[in-house]
Chains A and B, each alone.
Chain A
Amino acid sequence: MRTLKKTSLLAAAIGAVAALLFSGTAQAATTISSGHVDVFAIAYDDTANKLDLNVKIYSTGQTIEPADALFDVHSGHQVTMASATACRWDAGANWVLPRTEQTGKIWAGWNTDGLNLASFGGNVKVNLVSYSAPAGGHVSIYDSTTNTTRLHTNSGCGASAITVTESHHHPTWVFTEPGVYTLTLRLSGTHSVDGAVTSDPVTYTFDVG
């Protein structure tokens, strides 16, 4: 049942991406395959009292909705590892978004430019609501300098939410299998005046390999 569900999700995701790509409307997806992009551009709308999660593309200066972005993690990101490390990468092929800018690869980070972190006690959380992945595939987001797991799709890694304390940051992202991944995420935080606030859940799509 689990496998079937994954397969159908995958098919649905591919269908959705294809529809976006070929719909030819003004709402066509923006494909991101290289360069500086803040995958999580985090903002707070104090009128609506809601957090907001968008994608900032530096090369064009655009800020777009996650649903309108397709991250093309192409073969240029493939790295072969001699052995597996738990909650990081598998042995063999992995697809890696590097923590420092490298020509031809996606440089994927996050920023909190759209809010005052101090008003949220110094942090907001990016919570993993649900995900889909190819069979055996996982997503790991971590800081190699401090060996800290920031987010992992395997609940056993104990990192189902990123505690964002930085105004701007670039971790390493690893996808362990080729295929289409979706991450559905929701922001949460505690505003010093308005209390608990969240964003709507938003879904990101990564086409890996």
Chain B
Amino acid sequence: MRTIAKHSAVAAAAAAVVAMTAAPATAAEADYTILSEGHVDVIGIAYEAGELELHVHDEETDAEYAPGEVLLKANNEAKTTVPAGYDFIGAPGSNAWILPDTEVEGLLFAGIGTEEIALGDLVGDSVTLTVHDAVGRGDVALYNVDDFGNPEVRFDSNDGAGSWEVAAASHGHLNWAFTKSGIYKLTVEAEGVDAATGESVSTGEVDYWFWVEA
């Protein structure tokens, strides 16, 4: 059942993309915007009026979107090969599309922003970010790299859900690796504890859509 649901979701997204691409004249009526380059806080987390919320913030245009309103595109220029020592992405030398954690001309520079969580509002000034699942033709890995070349894997679609802590009022970037072209759905959730009430707050599971260009 799970597999069927996944495939139909992917098919629906693929169809939507085809429809959008084929009918540019009606782009104004399109349900979502394609973001394919520049600095975008893909996982923007806000805590306002007791609501923890996920959104996408395009730093280039200062536009803000609900995650379901955007298709995040890894341009073909992101296509590379898996470096040695990064086996969690795939076999070294095999194809991978990587959106890097540093700004590269012509690629989406996909970040995480918690600037809209005021210090003191959440216990520990921290949220737990979880990527529950990634569905698509290939595998997905989200990771950081330290100064000495050691990767720190945050999410590996082969290993199930991945969670990590993100400080409130902070900003950071991830490397986003995909092993095949096509459409992917990532299911993301942020959770925290309200410092004043002690109640757990959550964004719920929110879907993000990526398009990896062949």
Contact present for B102 and A96 (CB under 8 Å): no
Q: What CA separation (Å) do A89 and B173 show in the bound complex?
A: 25
- Smallest beta-carbon distance B103→chain A, Å: 5
Residues from chain B with a CB closer than 8 A to the CB of A98 are: 147
Q: What CA separation (Å) do A18 and B118 show in the bound complex?
A: 41
Fill in one digit per residue for B105-126: 1 if any A CB lies within 8 Å of its CB, else 0.
1000000000000000000000
Among B103, B105, B147, which residue has its beta carbon within 8 angstroms of that of A99? B147
Query: Does B93 sit within 8 A of A, measured CB to CB?
Result: no
Residues from chain B with a CB closer than 8 A to the CB of A101 are: 171-172
Q: What CA separation (Å) do A146 and B145 show in the bound complex?
A: 10
- Smallest beta-carbon distance A78→chain B, Å: 13
If the complex has contacts A98-B147, A100-B172, A172-B147, are A145 and B100 also in contact, measured as CB distance less than 8 A? yes
Query: Does B64 sit within 8 A of A, measured CB to CB?
Result: no
Residues from chain A with a CB closer than 8 A to the CB of B175 are: 145
If the complex has contacts A100-B172, A144-B145, A147-B149, are A167 and B105 also in contact, measured as CB distance less than 8 A? yes
In the complex formed, the residue of A with least CB distance to B144 is A100
Q: What CA separation (Å) do A97 and B20 show in the bound complex?
A: 45
Fill in one digit per residue for B141-185: 1 if any A CB lies within 8 Å of its CB, else 0.
000111111000000000000000000000111010000000000
Q: Report the contact-size class of chain B (Cβ under 8 Å from the partner).
A: 10 to 19
Residues from chain B with a CB closer than 8 A to the CB of A99 are: 102, 145, 147
Residues from chain B with a CB closer than 8 A to the CB of A168 are: 103
If the complex has contacts A100-B172, A100-B173, are A144 and B103 also in contact, measured as CB distance less than 8 A? no
Q: Report the contact-size class of chain A (Cβ under 8 Å from the partner).
A: 20 to 34
Residues from chain A with a CB closer than 8 A to the CB of B102 are: 99, 143, 145, 166, 169-170
Residues from chain A with a CB closer than 8 A to the CB of B148 are: 81, 85, 88-89, 144
In the complex formed, the residue of B with least CB distance to A146 is B83
In the complex formed, the residue of A with least CB distance to B104 is A166
Query: Does B101 sit within 8 A of A, measured CB to CB?
Result: yes
Contact present for A144 and B149 (CB under 8 Å): yes
Q: What CA separation (Å) do A174 and B173 show in the bound complex?
A: 22
Residues from chain A with a CB closer than 8 A to the CB of B105 are: 165-167
**Most A CB within 10 A of own CB, among B100, B144, B146, B173:** B146
In the complex formed, the residue of A with least CB distance to B85 is A147
Among A85, A147, A167, which residue has its beta carbon within 8 angstroms of that of B83? A147
Residues from chain B with a CB closer than 8 A to the CB of A100 are: 101, 144, 172-173
Contact present for A167 and B172 (CB under 8 Å): no
**Most A CB within 10 A of own CB, among B147, B148, B175:** B147
Residues from chain B with a CB closer than 8 A to the CB of A174 are: 147
- Smallest beta-carbon distance A120→chain B, Å: 13
Q: What CA separation (Å) do A93 and B207 show in the bound complex?
A: 45
Interface residues of B in 161-214 (CB under 8 A from A): 171-173, 175
Among A96, A165, A167, A169, which residue has its beta carbon within 8 angstroms of that of B147? A96
- Smallest beta-carbon distance B107→chain A, Å: 11
Contact present for B147 and A144 (CB under 8 Å): yes
Q: What CA separation (Å) do A31 and B79 show in the bound complex?
A: 41
- Smallest beta-carbon distance B124→chain A, Å: 16
Q: What CA separation (Å) do A147 and B92 show in the bound complex?
A: 15
**Most A CB within 10 A of own CB, among B100, B101, B149, B172:** B149
Fill in one digit per residue for A50-92: 1 if any B CB lies within 8 Å of its CB, else 0.
0000000000000000000000000000010100010011000
Interface residues of A in 156-175 (CB under 8 A from B): 165-170, 172, 174
Which A residues contact B (CB, under 8 angstroms)? 79, 81, 85, 88-89, 96, 98-101, 143-147, 165-170, 172, 174
- What are 8 A-B interface contacts by the 8 Å CB criterion? A89-B148, A98-B147, A99-B145, A99-B147, A145-B101, A145-B145, A166-B103, A174-B147
In the complex, the 6 A-B pairs of residues with the closest C-beta atoms, listed nearest first: A172-B147, A144-B149, A145-B145, A168-B103, A98-B147, A144-B147
List 20 other contacts, CB 8 Å, given A88-B148, A147-B83, A165-B105: A79-B147, A85-B148, A98-B147, A99-B147, A100-B144, A101-B172, A144-B145, A144-B146, A144-B147, A144-B149, A145-B100, A145-B149, A145-B175, A146-B83, A166-B103, A166-B104, A167-B103, A169-B103, A170-B102, A172-B147
